[in-house]
Amino acid sequence: MKMTVSAMGSGTVKKAALAVLVLLLAAGFGYSRNKKIEPAPNGIALPAGFEAWRLVSVSLRADNDTIRAILGNKTAIKAVKNGKLLPWPDGTVLAKLVWKQKTLEAWPSATVPGDIVHAEFMVKDSVKYAATGGWGFARWLGPELKPYGKEAGFAQECFSCHTPMKDSDYVFTRPAFMPGTL
């Protein structure tokens, strides 16, 4: 069966193309990992092998023109599969890879990832990170993955942003339905 863009709807095609491109880019994010990456100021290290984690969701932020791929470690993927997100279990690590949006030259109606902005991580440990809702926060900037923040207290900035999501265990992400893959 031949399916045209008009039959599928341009929004559906755009979202599908975006999801595929973000997933492919997330898988190839490791190009920057040839050198030792410093931990975040609060001691959280960039998780080894996060590039191979499974996709939890994607998102677009219109306020800053970014595209995001949200990946999860094995604990996160098991929680998604079992619907155990309130609260997310200890040991969950969520990665958010963020790119600036750009228009695909060959297809101007398509939005694709441009330059990498940063990689963010949320680490669930309800005891260790009790002061920040049970989550440890870390961020690395740009393709060189430079740790964000000057001192451990930077995580309070992250937590302040996540506070409105208290009823969702401080997580903005809503897992995407991926039939047959979880």
Q: CA–CA separation, 38 vs 53, rounded Å?
A: 21
Q: What order do you get walking across the sheet with 54-61 strand by strand?
A: 54-61, 66-72, 93-104, 107-124, 135-141, 146-147
In a 13 Å sphere around the CA of 16, the CA atoms on its Cβ side amount to 7
Does residue 182 form part of some domain?
A: no
Does residue 174 form part of some domain?
A: no
Cβ partners under 8 Å of residue 115, min gap 6: 99, 100, 143
Does residue 176 form part of some domain?
A: no
**Cβ–Cβ under 8 Å, residues 58 and 25:** no
Does residue 88 form part of some domain?
A: yes
**Residues recorded for the chain:** 182
Does residue 175 form part of some domain?
A: no
Q: For residue 127, what is the domain's CATH number?
A: 3.50.70.20
Does residue 15 form part of some domain?
A: yes
How many structural domains comprise the chain?
A: 1
CA-based torsion, 162, 126, 55, 180: positive or negative: negative
Domain span at 158? 7-168
Does residue 11 form part of some domain?
A: yes
Q: Which amino acid type is present at position 15?
A: K
Does residue 125 form part of some domain?
A: yes
Residue 23's beta-bridge partner residues?
none
**Cβ–Cβ under 8 Å, residues 42 and 154:** yes
Beta strands in 84-168 (DSSP E): 93-104, 107-124, 135-141, 146-147
* Per-residue tens of pLDDT for the chain, all 182 residues: 333 334 444 454 445 445 544 544 544 454 445 578 999 999 999 999 999 999 999 999 999 999 999 999 999 999 999 999 999 999 999 999 999 999 999 999 999 999 999 999 999 999 999 999 999 999 999 999 999 999 988 999 999 999 999 999 999 999 998 777 54
| Beta pairing class for 93-104 and 107-124 | antiparallel
